[in-house]
């Protein structure tokens, strides 16, 4: 009887135990037909925690447990090892397991340098960090990767390469927000985005069953984009409900998203909010400001043009659902455009289109005025209400 003892049921231990059994069942069995691997080889997998993969989501632990059982791996939980000899493992409860192959997969120790640092640590020696990956709340010490203990509801992210790699954009995103005085992503959001494993998801607006309006606002009404966002939602939500806060949080940083804050403010004829939203959009973009400005103007041209079309059709007495289908836009967008159109006269909308076209040409180099000044002037002109005569 051969016995393998693997100490530590984290990712390495679970993977090793499972691979060992695969090796026996699929490869060695054919090479050594006289050995009954199913009965003559036992694999023990030990861990002090009450589940395998304790660093991961409970559902993953359950899936792994099921698979380990199918592979006839003997999982011993809440079992602390106190002693390891050349051919035996003794547990704290005094149980002795004899085996020729003993594998330690109980985790790696933190880097010795980390232990010497005067920073608050978790029990496993990692440095406790907040949602901006700051250690001990200090602005000048950030920790990511294996050395960082980033916890969500006391559950730390595991020490894995993909976590380490995705923590970097998360840390950068939150630090930039912090410096700019903007809200940082909550730890749950950081952890969820890391779990999705796609850095693009940081800048992604998330759809929600009960937040379809907010999603369209965030993503736009392009069906392809929406489908892609809904797909990401499915991964992110994992069966749980998504709120508007989630949509807004996850939409942060996506340059296309705040355009809705600009067009909404314009549609309400709120000059101050239009300028604020524009400033915020330019600030938040990771792309060069000049390019972002040109993109913003192009979006505004498109938006005002759409509102004009909706306005004309609405004036003909056509209902918004029919307008939506004729213009191939989402009914929500048609409804919103109709509402905005109600705040402008047809002449004002025509004038806004002309002013934006001039701005577009100016921003692309046809004006001697600084583009941002020109943008501001145009926004004020096309947004403010006309002064009443008398």
Ligand X SMILES: Cc1cc2nc3c(=O)[nH]c(=O)nc-3n(C[C@H](O)[C@H](O)[C@H](O)COP(=O)(O)OP(=O)(O)OC[C@H]3O[C@@H](n4cnc5c(N)ncnc54)[C@H](O)[C@@H]3O)c2cc1C
If the CB atoms of residues 159 and 257 are measured against ligand X, the closer one turns out to be: 159
Contact 303, 344 (CB under 8 A): no
Among 160, 172, 178, 318, binds ligand X (CB under 6 A): 160
The DSSP 8-state label assigned to residue 121 in this structure reads B
Q: Is 360 in the site for ligand X (CB under 6 A)?
A: no
Q: Which of these segments, 155-163, 182-190, 193-201, 204-212, binds ligand X (CB under 6 A)? A: 155-163
**Interacting residue with ligand X among 164, 271, 275, 357 (CB under 6 A):** 164
Phi/psi at 129 (5° precision)? -130, 155
The footprint of ligand X on this chain (CB under 6 A) covers a number of residues equal to 11
In which order are the strands placed within the sheet that holds 41-46?
73-76, 41-46, 2-7, 101-104
Supply 307's token pair.
């509102």
Binding mask 86-115 for ligand X (x = CB under 6 A): ----------------------x--x-x--
The reply to whether 270 sits near ligand X by the rule CB under 6 A is: no
Listed ranges 67-75, 161-169, 229-237, 282-290: which one lies at the site for ligand X (CB under 6 A)? 161-169
Instruction: Please name the residue that has the structure tokens 């203990």.
Output: 149
Q: Count the neighbouring beta carbons within 10 Å of the beta carbon of residue 373.
A: 10
Residues in Cβ contact with 345 at an 8 Å cutoff, skipping those fewer than 6 apart: none
Q: Decide if residue 145 touches ligand X (CB under 6 A).
A: yes
146 binds ligand X (CB under 6 A): yes
- By the rule CB under 6 A, 18 interacts with ligand X: no
Please report the beta strands in the chain, taking only residues with DSSP state E, as ranges in sequence order: 2-7, 41-46, 73-76, 81-85, 88-91, 96-98, 101-104, 127-129, 148-152, 155-156
CB of 127 to ligand X, least distance (A): 11
Q: Is 389 a binder of ligand X (CB under 6 A)? A: no
Segment contacting ligand X (CB under 6 A): 160-168, 221-229, 313-321, 342-350? 160-168
Q: Residue 199 or 305: which CB sits closer to ligand X?
A: 199
CA distance 100 to 79: 20
Q: Which stretch binds ligand X (CB under 6 A): 2-10, 37-45, 158-166, 270-278?
A: 158-166
Cα distance between residue 378 and residue 372, in whole Å: 10
Q: How far apart are CA 219 and CA 196, in angstroms?
A: 19
Neighbouring-strand partners of residue 81: 91
Give the nearer residue to ligand X in terms of CB position, either 34 or 116.
Answer: 116
Binding site for ligand X (CB under 6 A): 12, 108, 111, 113, 145-146, 159-162, 164
């Amino acid at each position: 009887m051969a016995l393998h003892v693997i100490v530590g049921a984290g990712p390495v231990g679970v993977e090793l135990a499972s691979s060992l059994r695969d090796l026996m069942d699929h490869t060695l069995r054919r090479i050594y037909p006289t050995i009954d691997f199913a009965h003559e080889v036992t694999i023990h997998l030990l861990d002090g925690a009450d589940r395998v993969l304790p660093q991961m989501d409970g559902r993953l632990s359950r899936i792994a447990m099921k698979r380990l059982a199918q592979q006839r791996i003997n999982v011993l939980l809440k079992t602390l090892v106190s002693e390891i000899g050349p051919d035996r493992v003794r547990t704290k409860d005094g149980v002795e397991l004899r085996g020729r192959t003993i594998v330690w997969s109980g985790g790696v120790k933190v880097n010795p340098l980390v232990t010497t640092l005067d920073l608050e640590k978790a029990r496993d020696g990692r440095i406790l960090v907040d949602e901006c990956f700051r250690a001990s709340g200090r602005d000048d010490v950030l920790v990511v990767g294996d050395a960082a203990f980033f916890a969500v509801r006391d559950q730390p992210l595991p020490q894995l390469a993909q976590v380490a790699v995705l923590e970097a954009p998360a840390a950068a995103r939150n630090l930039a927000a912090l410096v700019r005085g903007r809200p940082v992503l909550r730890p749950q959001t950081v952890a969820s985005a890391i779990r999705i494993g796609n850095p693009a998801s940081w800048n992604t607006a998330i759809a929600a069953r009960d937040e379809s309006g907010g999603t369209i606002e965030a993503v736009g009404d392009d069906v392809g984009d929406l489908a892609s966002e809904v797909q990401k939602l499915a991964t992110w939500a994992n069966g749980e409900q998504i709120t508007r806060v989630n949509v807004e949080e996850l939409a942060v940083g996506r340059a296309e998203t705040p355009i809705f804050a600009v067009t909404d403010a314009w549609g309400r004829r709120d000059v101050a909010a239009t300028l604020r939203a524009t400033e915020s959009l330019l600030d938040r973009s990771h792309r060069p400001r000049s390019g972002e400005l040109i993109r913003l103007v192009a979006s505004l041209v498109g938006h005002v043009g759409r509102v004009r079309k909706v306005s004309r059709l609405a004036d003909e007495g056509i209902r918004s659902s029919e307008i939506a289908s004729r213009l191939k836009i989402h009914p929500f967008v048609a409804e919103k455009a109709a509402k905005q159109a109600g705040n402008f006269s047809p002449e004002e909308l025509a004038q806004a289109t002309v002013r934006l076209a001039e701005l577009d040409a100016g921003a692309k180099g046809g004006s001697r005025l600084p583009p941002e000044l020109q943008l501001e002037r145009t926004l004020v002109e096309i947004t403010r209400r006309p002064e009443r005569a008398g």
